[in-house]
Amino acid sequence: MKRLFPILSVITAALLAYALYEAMVVAPTERTMGDVQRIFYYHVPSAWTAFLLFMVNLVASVVYLIRRNPKADALAVVCAEVGVVFCTIVLVTGPIWARPVWGIWWTWDVRLTTTLVLWLIYVSYLVLRRFSDSAQTPVLAAVLAIFGALDVPLVYFSIWFFRTQHPQPVIGGGGSLDPGMGRVLLINWLAFCCFAFLVCWSRYRLEMLQREVEEAHAMESLVGADGVSAKASLPLNRSPR
């Protein structure tokens, strides 16, 4: 497994470079928006990757609540963290694209608002993890993830009814996307997914290592305290466990 990591890193780097070339050079220039539209190849794949990661976070949270498996919890943390990063990229590239095209930085449209609320929920998820005591954190966080998942459809419907400005979904919707653009988009998404997977993987290893270290510390202090109390109560020297 460990040998796979550098191989995958090289593949991801190559794929990212290729995707950059495709997005900047090969993809056709959009007729009305011009070169600004190329931000599309970063905006949309980031969004898809973020949503994918949040979905994995939800599944891992549910699995944790049922099985109480610490690995599921570690996966949930990792996906939430990396997901927030990708979601931030979406929220930053969005206004940069919107300003020249729509003439405004921000609007309270369905997908913008839903993405923002999703981002807020997951930031509060990370804050909760940061501020609670280690033993209870996984349960509380998993419950919050479920609440967030219930909330998102409601946000979507409320804003959908309220107003909408965002272009209709280009893929799977009524719009038509140039096949050349679609190909570049998919290449970019593949590259982003590989990159996200790579980051998640190393973060997951780090998380598991951190937990091992914490556990070892806890054990050490437990044994240490035991040794002291044993020494204090018994004059005979017991061998430490």
Partner 1 sequence: MNSLWAVTLATLKKDIRLEWRSKDALNSMLFFSLLVVVIFSFSFDPTAEESRQIAGGLVWVGFLFASVVALNQTWARELRNQVLDAYRVSPAPPNSLFVAKALGNFILVSVLEAVMAPLFIVFYNLRAIGPAWQLIPIGVLGTWALVVNGTFFAAVSIRTRSREIMLPLLLFPISIPAVQAMVEATRIILMGDGSARFWIVLLLTYDVVFTTACLGLFETILHAE
What is the rounded CA–CA span in Å between residue 30 and residue 97? Answer: 13
- Ordered DSSP codes for 172-185: SSSS---HHHHHHH
> If DSSP codes are grouped into helix, strand and coil, which group holds residue 34?
strand
Work out whether 117 is an interface residue with partner 1 (CB under 8 A): yes
Q: Is 165 in the site for partner 1 (CB under 8 A)?
A: no
- Residue from 2, 6, 161, 174 touching partner 1 (CB under 8 A): that is 161
The residue from 24, 26, 154, 177 that contacts partner 1 (CB under 8 A) is 154
Task: Give the H or E element holding residue 87.
Answer: helix 70-102
Task: Kindly state whether residue 11 participates in binding partner 1, applying the rule CB under 8 A.
Answer: no
Q: Does 35 bind partner 1 (CB under 8 A)?
A: no
Q: Any long-range contacts for 130-135 (C-beta under 8 Å, 24+ apart)?
A: 134/214
Listed in sequence order, the residues at least 6 apart from 158 whose beta carbon sits closer than 8 Å to its beta carbon are: none
Q: How far is the CB of 63 from partner 1 (least distance, A)?
A: 14
Considering only residues 173 to 232 of the shown chain, the ones binding partner 1 according to CB under 8 A are: none
- CA 204 to the chain's CA centroid: 12
- Which of 13, 18, 151, 183 touches partner 1 by CB under 8 A? 151
Q: Which of 98, 100, 120 is nearest to 109 (CA)?
A: 98
Considering only the stretches 11-19, 84-92, 147-155, 192-200, report the one whose residues sit in contact with partner 1 under the rule CB under 8 A. 147-155
Task: Give the integer Cα–Cα distance in Å for 68 and 78.
Answer: 17
Q: Which is nearer to partner 1, 20 or 140 (CB)?
A: 140
Q: Report whether 79 contacts 193 (CB < 8 A).
A: no
Q: Per the structure block, which two tokens stand in for 241?
A: 């466990």
Q: List 30's β-bridge partners, or say none.
A: 34
| Interface with partner 1 (CB under 8 A), residue from 8, 16, 62, 155 | 155
Q: In angstroms, give the least distance from the CB of 146 to partner 1.
A: 7
Q: How far is the CB of 62 from partner 1 (least distance, A)?
A: 11
Residue 149 CB, shortest distance to partner 1, in Å, is 10
Instruction: Catalog residues that contact partner 1 under the rule CB under 8 A.
Output: 65, 117, 120-121, 123-124, 127-128, 131-133, 135-136, 139-140, 143-144, 146-148, 150-151, 154-155, 157-159, 161-162
